[in-house]
Amino acid sequence: ITGGARRIGAQIARELHAKGLNIVLHYNSSETEAQNLISELESNRKDSIIGLSQDLTDSDSISALVSSAVQKWDQLDVLVNNASVFYPTHLPDITKRDWDDLVGVNLIAPLFLIKESAKYLAHAKGSVINIVDIHADKGLQNFSIYSITKAGLAMLTKTMARELAPMVRVNGV
């Protein structure tokens, strides 16, 4: 689960863990929240979760996330692309750094996580869950780059659903 330490990601981790899944909990800067969640879930079931702090704009980090899951539990059943960067980008002030940051985390990382995970997910007949956003369909004023990335993630979801079927289910929420 990328971005799994807080908010929606943390609740997804709790729900999947309660259903018996082991978790690789990705976080970037939310170390305190991640460690608290890991302790909470470990108190229910020992050796069932690992936390990894990774920069999703770094391709080596993406490989490390997938490798960690496979090395720890010999399989990968579900990939949840939840991590997201969200901040306003007013047109006169948009920078290349804004573009690289938002596109890197919200769109490029999910693509390459799916790519790295596909063979393991196919073997497990697993699934990908991409957390999209209503703003994929209806752009949010002053959040143009964010809205663009979520629209791209929605299309990535549709194309990967076709490309990876029938072995891997790919859904957007």
Amino acid at 135: H
Torsion angle in degrees (nearest 10) through CA of 31, 173, 132, 84? 0
The active-site residue, picked from 27, 87, 120, 146, is 146
At residue 2, the 3 state secondary structure works out as coil
Helices (H), the chain: 7-18, 31-44, 59-73, 96-103, 109-124, 144-164
Tell me the torsion sign for CA atoms 83, 22, 44, 172.
positive
27 belongs to the catalytic site: no
3-state helix, strand, coil in the chain (%, to 5): 55, 15, 30
Catalytically active residues, by annotation: 146
